A and B are shown apart, each in its own frame.
Chain A
Amino acid sequence: MITLIDGLSLGSIYALIALGYTMVYGIAKLLNFAHGDVIMVGAYAIMVTLSYSLSPWVAVVVAAILCTVLGMLIEKIAYKPLRGASPLAVLITAIGVSYFLQGAAQIIFGSQSIPVGVAWKLPAVSAINKLGVSTAAAVTLISGVIIMSILTLFIKYTKTGRAMRAVSEDRGAAMLMGVNVNGIITITFAIGSLLAAFAGMFYLLQIPNTQPTLGAMPGITAFTAAVIGGIGSIPGAMVGGILLGVVEKFCLSSPLAPYTVAIKFSLLIIILLVKPTGLLGKVSREKV
């Protein structure tokens, strides 16, 4: 039971990251491999803000704003000039952006890990802790559910959300309706990066150290989760993320612990063998 809650909690971090991958893929049709590093930037933003003895709430706001702006800048500087270029060129650019962000963090902060400090620690809540669940896991899980519910409502019921779905399905037809596709792509990057900032925040609650490469592993795991769920599908990203989080925690608390990473990624291979589009993915239609 405790393992399950820990798994769901870790899974909601993966789900938040996976949503960024899947939304950007669905709408801009590109794989933003720099997405994991936005989490890292968020984590450093929190660490730096706290080092000025500011409140953790300020740190959260700083990280959220910084990541959102960073996401929009990455899109504008790195991807927008490549609209219509071959997917391979875009993919290599994404890897380049990823190395750029990691390199920049290394130059500024060095490669050793830096603790975030005691201010970034949730108080003990005996009612929860008595059950064996850490406050961090509970906060992560509850916040994750709230954030994902808000996102789902936004996509389903707002004009912008509807336009995002329309662009993801047929960019040309959406343009004929008057949708500014470039604007929608920018908004998508902003939302994805904001979610990454939240993921970075929850990640720090579990592992309170920053490192230039800290985004790499959660990033690649969440990307795997997005593909498992069906890349482009928002519920798919949530399901895939939760699934991987639960599998990881159960593996870690079993004799199979040394094989956890191998099991996580084998899951991808097995699911794609059975259902090549991912769990909730749709067969892509080729358009003329």
Chain B
Amino acid sequence: MALLEVKNLEVYYGVINALKGISFEVNEGEIVTLIGANGAGKSTTMQSIVGLIPKRSGTVIFDGKDISHTPCHKIVHLGMTQVPEGRRIFQELTVYENLLMGAFSIKDTSGFKRDLDAVYTRFPRLAERKNQVAGTLSGGEQQMLAMGRAIMSHPKLLMLDEPSMGLSPLLVDQIFEIIKDIHKDGTTILLVEQNAGKSLAISDRAYVLENGSIVMNGTGAELMASETVKEAYLGG
């Protein structure tokens, strides 16, 4: 069954038609990736699904519930958490306070300690720096914090917007390992990436976004083998 179903989603920035009625779905337990060039509409898709930017039309169904008009701050309570593009951690809060913010939607605080320990175990660097102001972390550490912060909210669906952006190749590998890890623990993942090679390799299915429309879709392996994709996104 589809955990997330997006139907004919349309977004405008003023008169510019940024998303031209796209439809796709993410099934429970999958890793699904949207790949595409800069400006294809990937982040727009992610942000309009959670209501950070307004939709012109279209339907978003999550876990059997129509959330097309649900205000952004209520989305996380339903089990959908997004790590936004550029990470957007709270720079002036400490690492620990950022993780507390991640658990903001969890009413029952009894599991907090356990969740916190789990994040610190997964990201030992964050444990070392828990009382440090987050703005002083390196780019890779900030990405780890953004992911740790998202996990604190117990998402059924974790949406990651360009998690490898601006990171060194070594760190990119590490981030993809972490994504696989989080997925293995039972979280469904919707990924947006410019790094098409690495993301297709870990994806069950993927969609190719071009100028606000979905132009191709298939399993990760199918798209990796496709000549068009190879030429446009995998560097020939």
Contacts and interface: CB of A to CB of B under 8 A. Distances in A.
Given A166-B101, A178-B76, A178-B104, A173 B84 contact: yes
Interface in B78-134: 81-82, 84, 86, 88-93, 97, 100-102, 104-105
Contact of A178 (B52, B73, B89): B73
Interface string A275-288: 00000001000001
B92 A175 contact: no
A183 B140 CA distance: 33
B77 A178 contact: yes
Nearest to A288: B86
B50 interface: yes
A173 B88 contact: yes
A162 B90 CA distance: 10
Contacts of B90: 165-166, 169-170, 173-174
A163 interface: yes
B188 interface: no
Interface residues of A, number: 19
Contacts, number: 64
A172 B97 CA distance: 17
Contact of B101 (A162, A172, A180): A162
Given A165-B93, A166-B93, A176 B74 contact: no
Contacts of A172: 52, 72, 84, 88
A179 interface: yes
A73 B113 CA distance: 39
A176 B74 CA distance: 8
A185 interface: no
Contacts of B52: 172, 175-176
B153 interface: yes
A181 interface: yes
B71 to A, nearest CB: 8
Interface string A128-162: 00000000000000000000000000000001001
A178 B100 CA distance: 12
Q: What's the dominant secondary structure at chain A's contact region?
A: helix
Contact of B92 (A165, A174, A177, A178): A165
A242 to B, nearest CB: 23
Contacts of B102: 177
Contacts of B72: 172, 175-176
B93 A170 contact: no
Contacts of A180: 73
Given A176-B50, A177-B105, A177-B153, A169 B100 contact: no
A178 B88 contact: no
Contact of A176 (B84, B91, B100): B84
Given A175-B52, A176-B84, A181 B91 contact: no
Interface in B56-78: 72-77
Nearest to B159: A176
A179 B92 contact: no
Given A169-B91, A176-B81, A181 B97 contact: no
Contact of A163 (B74, B88, B104, B153): B104
Nearest to B102: A177
B10 to A, nearest CB: 21
A172, A178, A180, A181: most-surrounded residue (chain B CB, <10 A) = A178
A203 B145 CA distance: 46
Given A159-B104, A162-B100, A170-B88, A175 B93 contact: no
Given A170-B90, A173-B84, 11 more contacts: A159-B100, A159-B104, A166-B93, A169-B90, A169-B93, A173-B90, A177-B76, A177-B104, A177-B153, A282-B92, A288-B86
Interface of B: 50, 52, 72-77, 81-82, 84, 86, 88-93, 97, 100-102, 104-105, 149, 153
19 contacts: A159-B104, A162-B101, A163-B104, A169-B90, A169-B91, A169-B93, A170-B88, A173-B89, A175-B52, A176-B81, A176-B88, A177-B105, A178-B76, A178-B104, A178-B105, A178-B153, A179-B101, A179-B104, A181-B73
